[in-house]
A and B are shown apart, each in its own frame.
Chain A
Amino acid sequence: MTPVPAGAPLVEVTGLHISFGDVRAVDGLSFTLQPGAALGVVGESGSGKSASAYALLGLHRGTGARVSGTIRVAGIDVNAASDAELRSLRGGLAAMVFQDPLSSLDPYYTIGDQIAEVYRVHKGGSRRAARARAITVLDRVGIPDAARKSRSRPHEFSGGMRQRALIAMALACEPRLLIADEPTTALDVTVQAQILDLLHDLRRDEGLGLLLVTHDVGVAAESVDEVLVMRAGREVERGPVGPVLASPREPYTKALLSAVPRLSPALPSVTPGALPRTPFAPEGGSSSNAGRAEDPAHPGADRGAGNGATSHARSAAVPSPRRLPGRGGVGEASAAGGDVVIEAVGLSKSFGRGRAAFDAVDGVDLHVRRGETLGIVGESGSGKTTLGRMLVGLLEPSAGHVTRSGDVQMVFQDPVSSLNPRRSIGESVADPLRAAGERDDTRIRARVAELLARVGLDPDRYDGYPHEFSGGQRQRVGIARALAAEPKLIVCDEPVSALDVTTQAQVTALLAELQRELGLALVFVAHDLAVVRQVSDRVAVMRRGRIVEEGEVDVVYGAPKDPYTRQLLAAVPSLDPALAAVRRAARREEAHVAAA
């Protein structure tokens, strides 16, 4: 190992430029990271954050990307290093943890063998010693029964276990720096909290430096000391995480933060010195929400009034999804006995047969009224998507029934794969019209233009193809397609989870506007508790195919009754680092109690 002179930074990047062909991904980035410190690189897609992280290990070498500037990691000049030097750096001095832990491990070899292979590349030694080391690090990252589990292949692990295994691989050779590229983006919120806690402990115990790349400001707030906000390949703002998130200097940082959906209806303005006045929903949140809990009949009206001063300043920069304009009125109308658009009774769906059978959805009752939004929130495997599909009629329930009072349409998660890449977007939007029997092309074009304009797209883009549109625009196309059949209800399955936060905010604002103007009922299926909080009137929390808790959104979030709801809410990253520390301690305590 190359000894690093005392006091020298662990990472020193000066004037980094990376371009792929004509695209400048990173444009003059400089930063340093001291040994044992943690830096969060935050930005939206295309900001160049991942490309910068890859450059630290020289991973652009041989790919056709052009890299200039100087990068020194643990004393090695990455751009000038020989291939052999670079290999000793990779995994030996600096190790990387990737976003998708399933595809990031080789499906053909056991977890233990893969870790042992990496260990032997750097440290040599016998196979037996390497396997022993693999079991040690698997144990270190909290994999129970590590010796036996080390003989499993990646597909036999759950998502969280896989990410732990990948972190174990990173630890195998005792590196000085951990580079984590969106390490929790593919994980459920409770698992995300566990992984972030693990990273936190590893930093503390092993003195690891951490470079965390993420799109999620909350994840950064939980994990790092310093944050660097990137946009279009450049640094926008950098500084200690608390001050930057509490009082950002740059307009872009402000806009980014204001677009982040929050869990609390009226977030106390986080200014230095005014630390968690209202700790967090499960504990203290109930105090500020007490009034609402007692008055569940007028949630919208209450929110409209109470949202006031604190959030308006924040939402100035970007249309915020936090408050759906005008929903208060609709909420009151429905409370006054609005008509039920859809009703499901005893809805169940089982997949598989015999021993392999399981109930994806198990006896769910729900109803949605005109102009109302029902949020359905749950982790992966909770059955929320299956439920959504049964509501639309894409899946036949195994038991129970759905009563619909009008047409029901669906908006899908992935705006890329849910549009046919070989057909123009106009044709996609026209599909429901043609299915309904419309044959006249002039009328179809006119109606599609109207729909495109309705969702904020250029009405003349009928002949455009999906790849010409951005992610947010494609989701608008998906919404236009759903509107074409003039539905009473739209089921949105994770409609914004593939989008950047600022785009997310715009799409949820559009849904709210459509709802207000057309009196649509919405079912909003999502894993993101904060987004659901912001868009819903009522929320149903799902776990293992059942609804564990259902009620007015302020009541469920403000005073959750079910332990699972409380656990979910406690796992959501907070934007306030000090609060995050408090909650981390609380989670630890809870785990401790649970273990005892």
Chain B
Amino acid sequence: MNGFTGFLLRRIAGAVLVLLALSVVVYAVFYVAPGNVAQIVCGERCSPQQVALVHDKLGLGDPLYLQYGHFIQGIFAGRDFSSGTGVVHCSAPCLGQSYRTDEQVTDLIFGKLPVTGSLVIGAFALWLLIGVGTGVLSAWKRGGVVERLLTWLTLAGTSTPVFVIGLLLIIVLCSTLQWLPFPQYVPFTDNPEQWFWGLLLPWFSLALIESAKYARLTRSSMLETLAEDHVRTFRAYGLTERAIVGRHALRGAVAPVIALSALDAGTMFGSAVLTETLFGIPGIGRQLVESVRTVDLPVVVGVVLTTGFFVVLANAVADVLYATADRRVVLS
């Protein structure tokens, strides 16, 4: 078990390093590259004096490494901002203040996280269920009508954009059949039941697209494990096909599926923009698009770092899950 703890620690250390590297790149891209930040923050009509003031206030005159140092310090220890009249303390983890609203970026993001989190977690569970289920079924019944039907469906799924599936679902289920209310986001803490019904369609539209990918991955992974020698062994020892598929083939086949889907779930935090926009969900993706439009750099950097954090976290979780499933990984 010692090896496993060591593996965990190494993995976490690796994740921290990746995040630090990401912060350097993001900081460089957004703060160093584009023109005069002070001018952008102040606005088009600011006088040169006003711009100079903003320049000073943001500490843009400091050397770059010092600016980055302040930024990192903010994340780990918090920092102070002058607000013209006084000093505003931004406690760790501090990602700065929005140029537009002077709101703290961390508060802004923490406000959006449960929203996107609700969307991603539900969709994640659904796409695993649908994807792995169809994948296993089409590998098991390969060559038959069922498999061809499933292959066709998953192909259609992968190639349909989310807004088409989402719109179709809304039109058919909410408008024509009126089985479901029009989706509207209600926080879980306000009303769990409405939260569930409001997210059902977003979950399905996101999950259908993703599950198509997972069905194909599971199918090929399943076919691979079904051809492995140990599956042959258990077949030669009188196990039923159900036991072979369920216990011996599936376990090997889902390891890569779980790993990839954990990664996808992490990425989804920043990239579910289309779904969020279509269903009017005030999540992180929409916030990112909005901030990019208004050149609200601290928010953009904050959101990118946060989603990066989730990707790295998901990656680490995926590795650990993989190693838990297959202990040989730890050894190599």
Contact = CB atoms under 8 A, between A and B. Distances in A.
A141 interface: no
A108 B232 contact: no
A286 B58 CA distance: 92
B238 A104 contact: no
B232 A98 contact: yes
B107 to A, nearest CB: 45
Interface stretch (B190-198, B289-297, B323-331): B323-331
B233 A108 contact: no
Contacts of B228: 103
A169 interface: yes
Contact of A91 (B238, B252, B327): B238
Contact of B238 (A90, A98, A153): A90
Interface string B241-253: 0010001100110
Interface string B223-242: 00000111011111111100
Contacts of A91: 236-238
A79 to B, nearest CB: 17
Contact of A106 (B238, B248, B325, B331): B248
Contacts, number: 75
Given A153-B327, A155-B328, A155-B331, A104 B230 contact: yes
Given A103-B229, A108-B325, A153-B327, A117 B239 contact: yes
Given A107-B252, A107-B328, A108-B252, A59 B236 contact: yes
A106 B236 contact: no
A185 B87 CA distance: 78
B162 to A, nearest CB: 35
A106 B230 contact: yes
Contacts of B247: 117
A57 B235 CA distance: 10
A130 to B, nearest CB: 13
Interface string A89-113: 1111001101010011111110000
A68 to B, nearest CB: 21
Interface string A54-71: 000101000000000000
A318 interface: no
Contact of B237 (A90, A100, A103): A90
Contacts of A106: 230, 233-234, 248, 251-252
Interface string A226-239: 00000000000000
A88 B238 CA distance: 6
Among B235, B251, B331, the one with the most A-chain Cβ atoms within 10 Å of its Cβ is: B235
A200 interface: no
A121 interface: yes
A108 B234 CA distance: 14
Contact of A107 (B236, B240, B243, B326): B326
B98 to A, nearest CB: 49
A118 B239 contact: yes
Nearest to B251: A108
B238 A59 contact: no
Interface string A152-177: 01010000000000100100000000
Contacts of A105: 230, 233
Nearest to B239: A121
A104 B235 contact: no
Contacts of A140: none
A210 to B, nearest CB: 16
Contacts of A166: 233
Contacts of B234: 106, 117-118
B326 A87 contact: no
A134 B299 CA distance: 61
B328 A98 contact: no
Interface in B297-325: 325
A106 B327 CA distance: 12
Contacts of A149: none
Among B232, B234, B239, B331, the one with the most A-chain Cβ atoms within 10 Å of its Cβ is: B234
A109 B248 CA distance: 9
A87 B240 contact: yes
Contacts of A155: 327-328, 331
A525 B232 CA distance: 33
Contacts of A88: 238
A89 B238 contact: yes
Nearest to B231: A106
Contacts of A314: none
Contacts of B326: 107-108
B237 A169 contact: yes
Nearest to A54: B236
Contacts of A108: 248, 251-252, 325-326
Nearest to A94: B236
Contacts of A95: 236-237
A162 to B, nearest CB: 11
A155 B229 CA distance: 15
A57 B236 contact: yes
Nearest to B236: A96
A108 B239 CA distance: 17
A107 B225 CA distance: 11
Contact of B233 (A89, A92, A98, A121): A98
B328 A90 contact: no
A90 B328 CA distance: 30
Interface in A35-63: 57, 59
Contacts of B235: 59, 90
Among B236, B243, B247, B251, the one with the most A-chain Cβ atoms within 10 Å of its Cβ is: B236
A104 to B, nearest CB: 5
Given A153-B327, A155-B328, A104 B233 contact: yes
Given A153-B327, A155-B328, A155-B331, A104 B229 contact: yes
Nearest to B228: A103
B232 A59 contact: yes
A98 B232 CA distance: 10
Contacts of B243: 117, 121
A100 to B, nearest CB: 6
Contacts of B237: 90-91, 95-96, 118, 121, 169
A122 interface: yes
Contacts of B248: 106, 108-109
Given A86-B238, A96-B233, A118-B238, 4 more contacts: A87-B239, A90-B236, A106-B234, A109-B248
| Smallest CB-CB A-B distances: 6 pairs | A91-B237, A103-B229, A90-B238, A87-B238, A91-B238, A106-B230
28 contacts: A57-B236, A59-B232, A59-B235, A86-B238, A88-B238, A90-B236, A91-B237, A91-B238, A92-B238, A96-B237, A98-B229, A98-B233, A103-B228, A103-B229, A106-B233, A106-B248, A107-B230, A107-B326, A108-B251, A108-B252, A108-B325, A117-B247, A118-B234, A121-B243, A153-B328, A155-B327, A155-B331, A169-B233
Interface of A: 57, 59, 86-92, 95-96, 98, 100, 103-109, 117-118, 121-122, 153, 155, 166, 169
